């Protein structure tokens, strides 16, 4: 029997006058890879940040299976953000161990999980290296290992293959499939339809802050009478995509002051003409 691990109920999120998401409702079930697909600015990253507890909804709720809000139980989540956020002066293992200790995980347990998945990612020999000299692919793999080390119930991936070479991207996708086959639950954000079709059991298409479709790749093709996912996506997103603004939080007073202080107000100022003084 399928178990619901996370419930998003009538969630909206606004940043000032910008409504990034509008009354989103969906369930994330155990043992599935759920793809969040949409263009830049669609609301994918905002939804992932709500799922991870980084953002709080303007209205609605995001709760785990026992009804606990996600921001109260972040230890049950594994998150790989768009920016890896690694400490460059630490080794890969030190980054992972530090994160695991914050979740109360014993070093031995963390190492056992890390070394197991590191073998699949061809990273085992690099765990003792400082991340400062890592390539984009190695940093992404380290971030993935960090997210898995404490044994999360749900893994949230934001564009996990963005900027990776073909081999590294294939390795990451293969690990996602392996985790799914072992009963893991993954939410996989991407704007690549071909990638979503390869790894996702279920695809949620987000456009301009709304869910336009939710189903398996086969169901989306049938519902839209399309020959491929690209055709289905185009038919579901006819409205012009809005500019990307889903990662803008309201500015604080200090931020506004700092920006005004160092941002030239007129073209004359940029050119060095201070005759108006």
Helices 166-181, 136-148: axis angle to 10 degrees equals: 10
In angstroms, the CA 204 to CA 26 distance is: 9
Please choose, from the candidates 68, 33, 31, 73, the residue with its C-alpha nearest in 3D space to the C-alpha of residue 52: 73
pLDDT in tens, 171-185: 999 999 999 999 999
Domain ranges of the chain: 4-251
Nearest-angstrom CA–CA distance, 179 and 31:
9
Instruction: Check residue 82 and give its pLDDT.
Output: 81
Strand order in the sheet with 186-190: 77-80, 154-158, 186-190, 33-37, 202-207, 210-215
88 has pLDDT over 80:
yes
Cα–Cα–Cα angle for 76, 85, 59, rounded to 5 degrees: 50
Cβ(265)–Cβ(271) under 8 Å? no
Structure tokens at 65: 């299976």
pLDDT band at 246 (very low <50, low <70, confident <90, very high): very low
Q: Assign 272 a pLDDT band (cuts: 50, 70, 90).
A: very low
- Name the burial class of residue 182, with classes exposed (0-12), middle (13-18) and buried (19+) by CB atoms within 10 angstroms of its CB: exposed
User: Between 161 and 260, where is the model more confident?
Assistant: 161
Q: CA angle, corner 135, sides to 133 and 140, nearest 5?
A: 115
State percent of the chain over pLDDT 70. 86
The pLDDT score that the predictor gives to residue 119 is 93
Q: Find the mean pLDDT for residues 64-77.
A: 90
pLDDT tens readout for residues 223-235: 999 988 888 989 8
**Is 4-251 in CATH node 3.50.50.60?**
no
| pLDDT for the residue numbered 241 | 56
Average pLDDT, the chain: 86
Q: Which of 87-101, 178-192, 240-254, 262-276 has the lowest mean pLDDT?
A: 262-276
């Amino acid at each position: 029997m399928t178990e619901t691990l996370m419930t998003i109920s009538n969630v909206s999120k606004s940043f000032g006058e910008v409504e990034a998401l509008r009354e989103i409702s969906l369930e994330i079930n155990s043992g599935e890879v759920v793809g969040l697909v949409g263009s830049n600015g669609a609301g994918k990253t905002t939804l992932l940040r709500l799922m991870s507890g980084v953002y709080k909804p303007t209205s609605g709720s995001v709760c785990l299976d026992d009804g606990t809000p996600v921001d109260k139980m972040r230890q049950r989540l594994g998150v790989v953000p768009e920016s890896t956020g690694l400490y460059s002066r630490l080794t890969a293992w030190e980054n992972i161990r530090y994160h695991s200790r914050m979740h109360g995980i014993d070093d031995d347990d963390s190492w056992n999980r890390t070394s197991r998945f590191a073998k699949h990612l061809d990273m085992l020999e690099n765990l003792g290296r400082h991340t400062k000299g890592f390539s984009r692919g190695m940093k992404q793999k380290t971030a993935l290992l960090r997210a898995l080390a404490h044994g999360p119930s749900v893994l949230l991936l934001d564009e996990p293959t963005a900027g990776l070479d073909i081999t590294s991207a294939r390795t990451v996708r293969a690990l996602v499939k392996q985790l799914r086959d072992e009963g893991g639950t993954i939410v996989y954000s991407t704007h690549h339809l071909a990638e979503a079709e390869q790894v996702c059991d279920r695809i949620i298409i987000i456009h301009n802050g709304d869910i336009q479709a939710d189903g398996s790749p086969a169901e989306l093709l049938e519902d839209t009478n399309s020959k491929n996912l690209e055709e289905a996506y185009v038919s579901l997103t006819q409205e012009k995509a809005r500019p990307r603004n889903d990662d803008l939080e309201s500015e604080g007073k200090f931020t506004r002051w700092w920006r005004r202080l160092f941002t030239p107000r007129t073209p004359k100022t940029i050119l060095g003409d201070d005759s108006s003084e």
